[in-house]
Structure 1
C-alpha cells in the first residue's frame, strides 16, 4: 500500500538528508540519503529532495518543513537567524521559491547571539521539540556533536547559548595531528575518566596533557584504545570546565546521538548534575511539527 504523507518533516544537515512522511505527529515512513548541504549546488537541492520524497506525494500540494544547514547562506535558501533571547522558533519559516508544484518547502531559521558571538542552525528545532514535550521546563539543554551547544532555557525561551568545537577537535587531533599515531579504535574507561578529571580540575593543562598521550605511547607503549579514550576525556573535561556556569546547579537535558549523549550524561552525573537524556530524532520531529503549526 502506497504511503501518502499529510506533510513531510526534513532534517537536512551538512552531510545527510533525512525525510519523514508524517500524519499529524506520527511518522509513517522515513528515508535517508547522503545528499547533505555540502554535496549540493543550489539547483541540485530540489531534485535531491524530490528523489527522496516523491513516492509519498498524492493529489494536491504537500507542505515540507525543513531545518538544518539547508537554510544556511550556502544552502538552498537562506533562513536568517533570529536573535536571542527568544523562543526557539521565533523567526518566520522561509518559503523556498521555484520548487516542484507538488510541494511547498519551508525552512526553519536558526538562532544567533550577538555577544559573545554565536550561532546555531538545526539545534533550535530540537530545543523546540524538547520544550513541546516538556512544558514549563527550565534549565540547560546540551546538544553534543561536532559543535556541541549549551543552551540556557527559561520561560520557553532560549536565553543564551555557547558552542564548543569539541567533536571537531577530537576528529582533527585523532586524524591530522601527531596523536594520530597513538589514537586507535576501542575504549578504555579508566583512561577516559582520568582524562576527564584532569582537565575538569585543571583545564589550562590541556595542551601539555594532549602531548602526553603521544609521549606515553612512545615510552610506555600505551594501547591505542587508551589513547583514544584519554583524548576524549581530556577534551570533554575542558569543555565541561568552561561550560560550568551553564550546567552547575541546573536541570540538564542532553539531546544527541545515543552513545555520545550517554558519555556526556555520565560525565555530568559524576559532577552531581541532574541529567536526563532525550532522543535527538524524536526531538527534531517534534520541533518540525511545532514549526508546521506556526505556518500561515
Structure 2
C-alpha cells in the first residue's frame, strides 16, 4: 500500500516491526526485519526504517511514525530520556523527534520510564502498559510483565506509580546454558509438582537460593534427577525468589500478568499456589494498542488551542 495515515514501529534490540495504519485505525500492512538496534550504526537507522516503511509513504505528504523500544536507548538512533514515575506510561510532551532526511517522514520516539529510588528503568514495557490501560483505563493494581527482565508495575489513576525489575529470565537462561547446571537442566520438558515445590522452597527461605541451585547439580549426580525435572525446579527456585521479593506488590492486590502464554502461565501457577488468583492477558497486540493510544494523544495535543 501507499499513503498510510500513520505508522507504528516497535524497534527492539534484535528486530524491527512496523504497521501501516489507515484512516480508520486499521492495520493496512505490516512488515518486519532483523534490523534491530544492536546491529545498526549511527547512520543506519533511517535507511533501515525506510526499507520497511518506504512503500507506505506518500509523495508530497508528511506521515507520522511513532516508535517504541530500544531505538530510543542511549545506543539507539537518538536517546529519548526516561520519564520519571509517577507518571502516565506515555505522554506526547516527552516524545523525541530525530532529524530525518526523507521529507515524507516525521518520526516520534517514545521514551521509557525510570524510577530514581530505588534506581530502575524500563524501555518498551511502558508501551504495553499503555496498551493495557487503553482497554482498562480505570485499572488500579499491579501489572506483572514476565520476560528476560520481568517488571512489576503498580498502576493507579492512569499512572505508573512505581515498579521493580528482575533479571529472572536472563539468570534462568545463563544458568541453564552457561553454568555447571547445563549438564543437568534440559532445554524442554516440565514437571508442575517440582516447579511448585521449588517455589515453596525459595518463598520460605530465599536466602538459601544459591545453595539450592547447586543442589540441582548434586541431585542429578547422586539421584539421577531427570533433566526436565531439574528445569522445572530451576524455574521454580528463581520465580519463587522473585515472588518473595515482590510480596508488597502482589499480596492482596489485583494482579494482571502480561506476557507469552507459557511463561506468564508459570507465574500464574506460582501465584495461585500462594493463594492469589491473577488474570493473564496475551501480550500480542498490546504494543500496537499502546502506540495507537500514543498517536491519539499526539493528535489531541495538535488540536488543542
Instruction: Tell me how far 1:57 sits from its aligned partner.
Output: 2.4
* Paired position in structure 2 for 1:101: 103
1:20 and 2:19 aligned = yes
Instruction: Tell me how far 1:259 sits from its aligned partner.
Output: 1.8
**Structure 1 residues 44, 200: CA separation in 2 closer, same or farther (over 3 Å shift)?**
same
Match of 1:118 among 117, 120, 125: 120
Instruction: Tell me how far 1:179 sits from its aligned partner.
Output: 0.5
Match of 2:247 among 233, 238, 244: 244
Show structure 2 runs of 5+ residues with no match.
none
SS at 2:106 equivalent: strand
Q: Distance in 1 between matches of 2:269 and 2:3?
A: 41
CA contact (8 A) 1:25 1:286 kept: no
Q: Deviations over 1:163-198 (max 9, x none)?
A: 000011011111111111111122222221221121
TM-score, length of structure 1 as denominator length: 0.95
1:53 and 2:56 aligned = no
Alignment RMSD (CA, Å): 1.5
CA contact (8 A) 1:99 1:105 kept: no
Instruction: Tell me how far 1:247 sits from its aligned partner.
Output: 0.8
Instruction: Tell me how far 1:133 sits from its aligned partner.
Output: 0.6
* Paired position in structure 1 for 2:70: 69
Q: Distance in 2 between matches of 1:4 and 1:266?
A: 46
CA contact (8 A) 2:268 2:277 kept: no
CA contact (8 A) 1:250 1:274 kept: no
Instruction: Tell me how far 1:139 sits from its aligned partner.
Output: 0.1
Instruction: Tell me how far 1:4 sits from its aligned partner.
Output: 4.4
* Paired position in structure 1 for 2:129: 127
Match of 2:292 among 282, 285, 289: 289
TM-score, length of structure 2 as denominator length: 0.92
* Paired position in structure 2 for 1:165: 167
Q: Deviations over 1:224-268 (max 9, x none)?
A: 111111111110010011011001111111111222112212222
Q: Distance in 2 between matches of 1:25 and 1:260?
A: 31
Match of 1:146 among 137, 145, 148: 148
1:9 and 2:8 aligned = yes
Task: Please say which of residues 132-141 and 179-188 is displaced more in the overlay.
Answer: 179-188
CA contact (8 A) 1:94 1:108 kept: yes
Q: Within 5 A, what are the aligned runs for 1:202-241?
A: 202-241=205-244
